[in-house]
Structure 1
Amino acid sequence: MNAKVSFLLIVSMITTTFLSSCGTSNTVKGGALGAVLGGGLGAAIGDKPGKEKEGAIIGTVVGGALGAYIGSRMDHQAQELKEVPGIKDVSYDQTSKKIDANMEVLFDFDKADVKPTEQIKLDQLAEVFTSYPENVVVIEGHTDSDGTDEYNQKLSERRAAAIESYLRSKRLDIASLSSVGYGETKPVAPNDTKENKAKNRRVEIKISADENRARQMYESQQIRQ
């Protein structure tokens, strides 16, 4: 059996094992797909001249386990985020292993100060993040079309930065935290009604995993076991 066929069989075995042993929940789907994606990466890393078969096998097993670990943790985090006040429309992409969530953070007119009522929401968001040190988090600010392009751009940047600053004040130990403002350039609805404009005035939270930190966490877990 050549290395390519061997690799394909191993990927198939990993996928079958995850699906048959754990059912078809979102966690399993994330873990199984993570195993396949991580396995492909692991096989490429483990493939050495003269050691093609061994490299593919070792790389697939190690990469697959790491991919499953990341996928499972991201899926669990998505479920936890749904319980945070103000968080809505949480989606988890099982292929890219990324989370996208909208969060209602209210600001006074033309202001970017995080009000006490909104700090409570962000405190609970930070509490979730403390369990996921591998997180790479981007806070996105968006506005409706009222006002000039320049005004909306700067306002979205200020508000996203204010949320980032508040979360940083919680001394989060995560891989990365940043913010960006898009102004009115990425509407999710036409700016033709009051209701639609409210949808466009939003904060989006994008979460992915830093693979290096996730690998360190996974290896540490294996040593403890």
Structure 2
Amino acid sequence: MKRNPIYQKDELLSNRSPILPVLMLSTNAVLAFLVLINIYSVSGNAAQTGEIRYSAFLELYYILLLLLFLLILLLAPALSAPAISGERERKTLSLLLSTALRPVDIILGKLFSVLSSIFLLLLSTAPILACTLLYGGIRFPELFLFLLFSFLSALFSSSLGLFFSSAQRSSTGAIASTYIAEFLSFGLMLLLFFFLPELSLTPLLYYILLCLILPLLSVLFLTLACLRLSPP
């Protein structure tokens, strides 16, 4: 199978850059520190009172998930929004469009580059998140569903970033627009979650709907990005 040349070029640049390894190391260090602090606190409380608060491990699990999810929401636009506008600022976008590459090849290459970095970050944190499985209350399917939703959210945020990157000339404007659109989108999702009883939806059904809607919206914004790059 022929590899996308844009993805291959970005992958080589990413391998030579220390940013991703440093980000993975710092993220896992923070998560591991929180796990150790939680275990130390629960152990100290058990030594003094003879009581083990298993609910503390469940609270830790949700804190770790929240921090990791927020990191993904911050990272995806930062990587995707400058992808096309950065080429335009460096005066290299016209050179890319003059090659045999189609706009869809450029957009997908940039998308795969962003998602591969985020996927590696998610994969590296899986062992630390799995520590909460040792104490019960959390099952592996729940952890898998979180990783799936995080990846789909990264896909949606990256698609937003590529759309604004193709529509705006400056990377600063593309990044700001992406963060605003992302904040409004996920804010609306959170708001709808609190009105599930009025909408006659269960949390599981709402989650399934989001997992279906996010890829569809991603395809829409990627298509619009390709149209922005297509010659008139």
The question of a shared fold, defined as TM-score above 0.5 by the shorter chain, is answered with no
TM-score with structure 2 setting the length:
0.27
TM-score with structure 1 setting the length:
0.28
